Amino acid sequence: MADFDDATDPAFGAACNRLAAFTLPIPDGATVDEASGLTEADLIMILRHLHATRRTVEVLSIEEAVRRHGPGLPAEQAVPVTSWSDKELVAQYERTGGVPGNEYGDRLLDEIERRGLDL
């Protein structure tokens, strides 16, 4: 039986070992699932690739993510300004107060000017 040891993720290592135990008794070249054409060789290749390319993912609390990466954008700032109608674009810009140096407001103003709109 294969020995997929994964000290960083014991559950993943154990799952790989269970899949290997399922796969190894299947005769070489056998089709595991007729409908999809999945073969014993497919299962082995997938298992080896998944195990070889595994990586540890660090899960952060919201507080830690904000500390490391800063706060996210408000929802309206995450939407591409090019997707808004002229009226929506001008309304969003007016909400920023039109203060120069506001990165979001400047981005909106650039789009307003690109479209040739009047404020």
pLDDT digits (tens, 9 = 90+) for 42-100: 988 988 888 888 777 777 787 777 677 666 666 666 667 788 889 988 988 888 888 88
**What is the three-state SS of the chain?**
CCCCCCCCCHHHHHHHHHHHHHHCCCCCCCEEECCCCEEHHHHHHHHHHHHHCCCCCCCCCHHHHHHHHCCCCCHHHHCCHHHCCHHHHHHHHHHCCCCCCCHHHHHHHHHHHHHCCCC
pTM, entire model = 0.42
At 20 the pLDDT is: 86
- Mean pLDDT, rounded, of the chain: 82
The rounded percent of the chain whose pLDDT value lies above 70 is 87
pLDDT digits (tens, 9 = 90+) for 19-31: 888 888 888 888 9
